[in-house]
Structure 1
Amino acid sequence: MTRTGEPAIRVQNMEKSYKDLHVLRGVDFEVAAGSIFALLGSNGAGKTTLVRILSTLLKADAGTATVHGFDVAANPGDVRESISLTGQFAAVDEVLTGRENLVLVAKLRHLKNPGAIADELLGRFSLTEASGRKAAEYSGGMRRRLDIAMSLIGEPKVIFLDEPTTGLDPQARIDVWQTVKDLAQNGTTVLLTTQYLDEAEHLADRIAILHKGTIIQNGTLDELKRLLPPAEIEYVEKQPSLEDVFLALVGETAEEQEEKEASR
């Protein structure tokens, strides 16, 4: 639990619009401390907008949100001290080595022994052997692990991962998944946004499906699977997958999604 005994994240009736475009239409959910919460939705569903509000980069039009017990609108400074945000693309300095990136962030946070902090994180994220190489030479998965390691400097209580495996190859995705699991096991609350159904299925303690600006379902994987009829036994029993649940709730075909993207 947080310092006040509340959920690590609480969002109530959150709304956000850009002129006539209603991005968030009354979003409600809670995230338990030390858990992994996946916000699942298609492109344009409002995932990144919501994360930007929770990380104090945007102001909501209506509704309230607390992160680690602090009100996002009233106490943005306290929220920033409690969180870390990793965007869709790794924000590492490619001119610097992996170790130099970590040392730089530790110094910017005015922490003691930045070199020791960097070395501990390099070991934790299996980057020690590559610590002296420039980040420009890292693979996509290594850059993402370095990015997340940089985000953990200062021991934030809550970390936001906005589509953390976008553009990564399968092995790199698996590496990042293990990193996310390790974060939760060490007590960090993780809210990740994703459009990959298997990612939410593998990682999340709870999954919320965001569609057209609202949460249309929120539950554990088993709870979401129970929304569909039980499997009929013929020759092979097939339980509903998260993909089945998502498509049944959202009700969009691939063609409709392509038309939506083409109209933007």
Structure 2
Amino acid sequence: MTTVATALRTATTKTGIAALPEVPDPRRTAPKDARALSKLFFEQLATLEEGTHEYQYARNTLIEMNMSLVRYAAGRFRSRGDDMEDIVQVGMIGLIKAIDRFELSREVEFTSFAIPYIVGEIKRFFRDTSWAVHVPRRLQEARVELARATEELRTRLGRAPMVAELAALMNLSEEEVIEARLASNGYHSTSLDAAVNNDSEEGEAALMNFIGVEDPGMELVEDFHALAPLIADLDERDRQIIHLRFVEELTQSQIGERLGCSQMHVSRLLSRTLKRLREGMLAAD
């Protein structure tokens, strides 16, 4: 394994950088050695011109030497059940951001500076991609706060806390607490084809068989589809009366004034037309 002493004794010849040591396998550098070498590389990185081959060598070596930080931070999220390789890849983005923004003048260890960037990037990944249903950022954050408050009150009270108690602890209204609870349902989803236990002799059945409801809107669509040709067969006056009564929502008296006839005559015409349409609908059924 590469040590600091070995690296410092070996000047690079492949890149032509005399001031920087060659690190044969940066990814296998021990964490203790990586800290010492990183300081040296950051010192040189600050003096090199961005975009040059030397600059890229220093930056890439820093990234590879500090990959152990990403694996360490990613290990905190092992229980989430996600692919660890995906988490590590996301954490690498945080590491690169930390390297690009780190300055030795901060007088802080790079490890202490980088870990928050790496963890923050991983948390952002979970926040933006793990929700089965899109939920506003405000409610996502309220869900986390609600979980903490619930656990704190459950420990303190020895029972499940009430909405009013949660609202008082979180400095929110009861409506906002309820909204945060509802938002939590968007974190996980279940397929409508998922099998659920059924007490009947049929055994298991699909979830969709238990949550489906009749949509009255679908029946209206069918009715409109059947009614359209019937209305098209009406004469111009009858179609106009139907339009004035049910689209413009005029009274029979107003329709009579518009057409120049009595309200009684409009009533007879309307009744006759509706009867014709009703019979046509029943015949279609």
TM-score range, shorter chain: under 0.3
TM-score for the superposition, normalised by structure 2: 0.22
Of structures 1 and 2, the one with the larger relative CO (CA 8 A, separation 6+) is 1
Structure with bigger gyration radius: 2
TM-score for the superposition, normalised by structure 1: 0.23
